[in-house]
A and B are shown apart, each in its own frame.
Chain A
Amino acid sequence: MTVTKTHRPALALRGVGKRFGSNQVLHNIDLEVQSSEVVCLIGPSGSGKSTLLRSMAFLEEYDDGEVFIEGQLLGWEPGLPRKRTSRAHLNKVRSTIGMVFQQFNLWPHMSVLGNVTEALIRVRRIASGEARQRGLAMLEKVGLAHKADAYPAQLSGGQQQRVAIARALAMEPHIMLFDEPTSALDPELVGEVLHVMKQLAADGMTMVVVTHEMGFAAQVADTVVFLDQGQIVARGSPQKLFHMTQHPRLQQFLQNYLDRNAFWQDMKEEATA
């Protein structure tokens, strides 16, 4: 597959809104993600950041506005009233995105390699021998080729999430969406997943990441987007955003985060005292 380099954004959201019943969870979201850009979505729980990310894969059917994946409208036929596109067309439009979930969502009855090769064989119709080669190469990339024949339940959470990343990468996506990829992990397993994600970013993958890992956002993101109550309240480079003081809600959010981690500082100070 060839990627034509144009100036059109990899991902573009225009006026996206979403309601659950009478509850408006997303308001008029405008967002552009350029090719090779890493965007981190942060915000308090219930701010709509996961819903926003899921809208980018049409796992949530957004009600208003438009989502474009590499210039193609996602999920809806152009024009009103809204009519879903055919499933085949939806799958075609989103074939360039890969999704990684908080709960990994591996298929427990298939081996690790089986998880990675399933879509290659059933969707891309690649012969099983070649799919196996590609699957192993992807597992190599996340450092788990030696676990190819294991079953998901035999792996740690961090390993399972890395398999899930390999599964998405096997389809050669141009854009990777991560929905709180480390939130279900024991703290000591978070690092290995973030490490893989950092590598991906360094390789130039376009990424949108919903995360509570402020360290990751500060280090890897090109753009950090802060959501609150379904609206984008602030956005910018991490350096800029993490020092924005004019946004009380953002400051409060970041302060909570700093408070949670403050005891480290206290302990360090105690140790040096």
Chain B
Amino acid sequence: MIFDPTLITERLGDISNGLLVTLETWFAGVAMGAAIGLLIAVLQVFGGAWLRALLRLYIELIRATPFLVQLFLLYYGGPSFGLELEATTAGILGLGIYGSVYFAEIFRTGFESIPKGQLEAADCLGITRLQCIWRIQLPQMLVLILPALVNLVTILCKETAVLSIITIPELTMVMTGIGSETFAFVETLLVLCVAYLVLIELSSRLGLFLERRVGRFLQRQST
């Protein structure tokens, strides 16, 4: 196999568009998943029994079904429920919902890791639950859950490849397209792998940087 770089250079425009779509769906999916996940976790910690049971059901349903099937349901099955979405919108929504349950579980364990006594102390001083979340629980738990969050963010990066199935022109769709046009399957797939590797490596580095910042915070606490 001789790698022909013109395969890539001639299609650089398409490829960078694909990369942009990948980044867009990834970031939007992560933002949405984290927001829904945090909301679920907060409601699980402070909501009533019925709400908790409902959220538990949502988490179990999403966790127990493949992402691909969820996407099909949302994009191809959506219109039968009166839900007609553009492919990219459906993709971001799907990724957000899929990610939300894992974000929720990470945030929930984070909330549970803060000793109850700290909250009782806040309670006795008249500090509201919302203030408690923002001022006392989140700052402490982010330190603990950061590695798990970074891990989930990298997983969601790779899951964007699945979005090609519902016709979203992201990187995997573009590269496999080039592959089937030129029959250079292996080369294009290898380049695709390297592209994901770079993205994941970058986000891991960012994660490590944040962990070190956080580490300084921890050191300040214990010296």
Contact = CB atoms under 8 A, between A and B. Distances in A.
B135 interface: yes
Given A118-B135, A151-B220, A105 B125 contact: no
Contacts of A128: none
Contacts of B217: 109
Contacts, number: 68
Contacts of A171: 125-126
A133 interface: no
Interface string B195-223: 00000000000000000000001001111
Contact of B124 (A59, A153, A154): A59
Interface in B115-168: 115, 117-118, 120-129, 131, 135-136, 139-140, 143
B7 to A, nearest CB: 52
A98 interface: yes
Interface in A160-183: 164, 167-168, 171
Given A118-B135, A151-B220, A97 B117 contact: no
A123 interface: yes
A59 B125 contact: no
- Secondary structure call for the B interface: helix
A90 B143 CA distance: 32
Bin chain A's interface residue count: 20 to 34
A99 B140 contact: no
B109 to A, nearest CB: 18
B136 A107 contact: yes
Nearest to A119: B125
Contact of A101 (B120, B136, B143, B221): B120
Contacts of A108: 140, 221
A99 B221 contact: no
Interface in A242-265: none
A7 interface: no
Contact of B221 (A94, A97, A105, A109): A109
A34 interface: no
A248 to B, nearest CB: 36
B125 A101 contact: no
Given A59-B120, A99-B121, A109-B140, A123 B126 contact: yes
A154 B121 contact: no
The 9 closest A-B pairs by CB, nearest first: A119-B125, A105-B117, A105-B121, A99-B124, A123-B126, A91-B126, A153-B221, A151-B221, A109-B139
Interface of B: 115, 117-118, 120-129, 131, 135-136, 139-140, 143, 217, 220-223
23 contacts: A57-B124, A59-B120, A91-B126, A94-B126, A101-B120, A101-B121, A103-B115, A105-B118, A105-B120, A107-B122, A107-B140, A109-B136, A118-B135, A119-B126, A119-B127, A122-B127, A151-B220, A154-B222, A154-B223, A167-B121, A168-B124, A171-B125, A171-B126
